[in-house]
Amino acid sequence: RPQEISRVIWSLVRKELFTNLLTYRLSIALVFTIVLSALTTVIGSLDYSRNVASYEDELRNQRELIEQVTIYERLSPTIILPPQPLAIFARGVVGVAPLSYDIRIDDYGRGPEQLFSNRDSGYMKALIQIDFITVVTVLLSFLAIVLGFDGICGERERGTLKQLLTNPIPRAYVVLAKLIGGIISLWIPFTLAFVLCLLIALANVNVVFSGDDWLRLGLLYLLTCLFLAQIFSLSLAVSAFARDTDTALIICLFAWLVGGVGYISALPSFSRYGHDEIPHQHYVDQNDEIWREWRQQVSHWEEQNPPPADAYWEGINRDGRRRFNHPTAYRWLERHQANAMGMRADNADRRYQARYGTWDPLAQEAYVVDRWSALSPFTNYQVLAYRLARTTLDDLFYAGRAGQDYRDTYIQYLRGKNAFGSQRWFTDDPPGQEPMIPQPESITTDMLRSDAPYMMERMAWAEEQQRLANDDAGRRLDLSDMPKFGGRWQRSLGDSVGTMTIGLAVLLLSFGAAVLLTVARFLRYDPQ
């Protein structure tokens, strides 16, 4: 009857559970798990707080710089992405630091997939960067093996299995009870550590989890429970096939080392096959050639459009900003700039494609490591956890593509303002501004010497005008219509789960296969 079946199973589960809880190995593992989990979370939380402050400072500095800009050439927006709170538990590639992406006209900065940060904790650089996920992957998976390797063959050696099977209890119930009892024994230290880590993170006033973050944390908890159940089931299956505990332990440890440490260490070497790595010198040569062509084009244009005489260029040129040049010089610069900037923007695409040609094989190799890591029951959990936390290389590329899209939008904004072809690109002189040399055609070479009375007089005038101009708020650019960085720069929960499909399938299939193998073997198991 169902009630009797449940009573028998629960009685066996309690036996397995109490047996595991009273062992020193579980107690020691519990202490180590809680201590290491708390330590990694505290370090991650401190890093997060420091990086939130850094993020806010950079945002404030960026706003102040943009407010002071008076010419388009000095306008250099930077995308600054906030640190992610889930990275406290799962650092991955991204880590807990804010990410920056410089928007440039004639270059892609460090590249849209090269969002960068050097704000990681000095403590974490001095040590191996571990996180809560690493603790689970290494310590609790090892505990799952320790609890499961002698679950069946160990009882056979002690003689308790034969005694147990003399009772009128179906063998399937015994296996089910061992699985449930062992899995719950693993979930207890994990749950305690997980709750403690959450409390440590929430104690930080800078940590604010969104609704999406809470959903991801819930899925991370379930994912970890499934991972631990899978490892325990695999070790119990080995125990069912082995006749003695020594053999079972050796097989389990060998599988744990080879399937985990050995597999993930060998993958980077295997990933290089099928990907031809292009030497960086190839990009350097292409980059030099592109710049050489650009200089030739500019020189050819200047030969056909010679600049005005030196007297037209007298003025003040500071902080990349021209003032008080003659209008004739400005008009020549407008035409020169319109021609040169168009070519520089086009060359930026060519240079990026050349640079990406050297990056792409390396990125594909890293993708191969992530994809193939999901095929091992010992390594797929860590990859899945980082995908859930959005801290993988793929998530970094995803954010980088959002930065690239904004760069295109920003360039279109400048083109719409005719920024490249206007004198506002290089000077904030208003229309009708008196130049430093009002009549350049009447100026001799001697008059242009720095110690000449005329130049000393005009330089004194320019310095006074410069002081007045620096205090003139009207010279600042009106950037109220500049497009803001927005849109989705992070994967949605559905997208993240979609990238986890293969790994989740491996996790579920290996768990199911281990349970079926254990049951099938135990039904024919000889307790003698």
Chain centre distance of CA 154: 45
287 CB burial (10 A radius; 0-12, 13-18, 19+)? middle
Summarised one tens digit per residue, pLDDT across range 24-55 is 888 888 899 999 999 999 999 999 999 899 88
pLDDT > 70 in the chain, percent = 94
More confident residue, 270 or 505: 505
Helix, strand, coil percent content, the chain, rounded in steps of 5:
70, 5, 30
Q: Token pair for residue 368?
A: 């191969």
CA distance 406 to 316: 34
pLDDT digits (tens, 9 = 90+) for 324-346: 999 999 999 999 988 887 777 77
- pTM of this structure: 0.85
Number of Cβ atoms within 10 Å of the Cβ of 342: 13
d(CA 248, CA 320): 72
Residue 519 has pLDDT above 70, yes or no: yes
Q: What is the mean pLDDT of residues 273-284?
A: 77
Residues above pLDDT 90, as percent of the chain: 39
Residue 280 sits at the vertex; the CA angle it makes with 279 and 281, to the nearest 5 degrees, is 90
Whether the per-residue pLDDT at 351 is higher than 90: the answer is no
Which band of pLDDT confidence, cut at 50, 70 and 90, is reported for residue 124? very low
| pLDDT value, residue 524 | 85
Highest mean pLDDT among 3-7, 38-42, 148-152: 38-42
- Pairwise pLDDT comparison (496 vs 339), residue with the higher score: 496
Q: Does residue 208 or residue 525 have the better pLDDT?
A: 208
**Which residues is 102 bridged to in the sheet?**
78
- Say whether pLDDT at 309 is over 90: yes
**pLDDT value of residue 67:** 87
Cβ-Cβ contacts under 8 Å for 379 (sequence gap 6 or more): 137, 259, 260, 263, 264, 373
Say if residue 113's pLDDT is above 60. Answer: no
Longest dimension (CA), the chain: 119
What integer is the mean pLDDT of 245-274?
Answer: 83
pLDDT at 21 over 90: no
Whole-number Å distance between alpha carbons of 61 and 218: 37
pLDDT at 441 over 70: yes
Distance CA 165, CA 278 (A): 64
**pLDDT band per the 50, 70, 90 thresholds, residue 487:** confident
123 in helix, strand or coil?
helix
Phi-psi sector, 319: left (phi>0), alpha (psi -120 to 50), beta: left
What does the H/E/C string look like for 299-349? HHHHHHCCCCCHHHHCCEEECCEEECCCHHHHHHHHHHHHHHHHHHHHHHH
pLDDT at 115 over 60: no
| Whole-angstrom distance, CA of residue 454 vs CA of residue 440 | 12
Tell me, what's the pLDDT at 273?
75
Q: What is the DSSP string of 154-205?
A: HHHHHTHHHHHHTSS--HHHHHHHHHHHHHHHHHHHHHHHHHHHHHHHHTST
Which of 365-374, 377-386, 396-405 shows the lowest per-residue confidence on average (mean pLDDT)?
365-374
> What pLDDT is attached to residue 4?
66
- Where is average pLDDT lowest: 80-94, 276-290, 462-476? 276-290
In the chain, the amino acid numbered 488 is R
Q: What is the pLDDT of residue 436?
A: 94
Contacts for 519 with CB less than 8 Å, ≥ 6 apart = 172, 175, 176
More confident residue, 17 or 222: 222
**C-alpha to C-alpha distance for 51 and 38, rounded to whole angstroms:** 20
Amino acid at the residue 164: L
Helix/strand/coil for 78: strand
The winner for highest mean pLDDT among 285-289, 349-353, 453-457 is 453-457
Q: What H or E segment, with its residue span, contains residue 323?
A: strand 321-323
pLDDT band at 454 (very low <50, low <70, confident <90, very high): very high
Where does 65-215 show beta strands of DSSP type E? 78-81, 99-102
- Note the pLDDT of residue 161: 78
- DSSP 8-state assignment for residue 311: G
What burial letters (b/e) apply to 33-42, b meaning 16+ CB within 10 Å? bbebbbebbb
Angle at 339 between CA 282 and CA 470, to 5 degrees: 105
Average pLDDT, the chain: 86
